[in-house]
Amino acid sequence: MGEGLDGERECVGQEAAMNFQVVVLAGGLSKTMYPLVSKDVPKALLPVGNRPLLSYVLELVEASNIKDIIVVVSGDDAALCVGNWVTEAFHDRLRVEVCAKNIQVSHGLFSVNFLEQLAT
């Protein structure tokens, strides 16, 4: 915000202010969470309150009027499951791209390792 030539306050409209793209790190499959997580149900799709965990994140982003989202998933199988679910659940509401990355993760350092490998 600033002042215009005539001294009136200029406001940035909500449409202009919401030109963002969100990146969601959605994990993948997990051997330590077996049998909850499987080839058919990656961590992002685990039910919490009878809804996939990822649905809460995407609905919050949607409520913020952000429509452009990248969901990064570790592993091709998990990415396929997440991509199919996102397409079905949000096909006409959000622009979501699901990217598969094969990430080597050290225990407890998921986000750090994920971002380092994503950048390369």
Average pLDDT of 65-86?
90
Q: The pTM is what?
A: 0.68
What percent of the chain is modeled with pLDDT above 90?
A: 24
CA distance 50 to 17: 34
| Residues 80/112/37/43 CA torsion (nearest 10 deg) | -60
Place of tokens 């091709």: 76
Average pLDDT of 104-116?
55
Residue 110 — very low, low, confident or very high, per pLDDT cuts 50/70/90?
Answer: low
Q: Which domains does the chain have, with CATH numbers?
A: 19-119 (3.90.550.10)
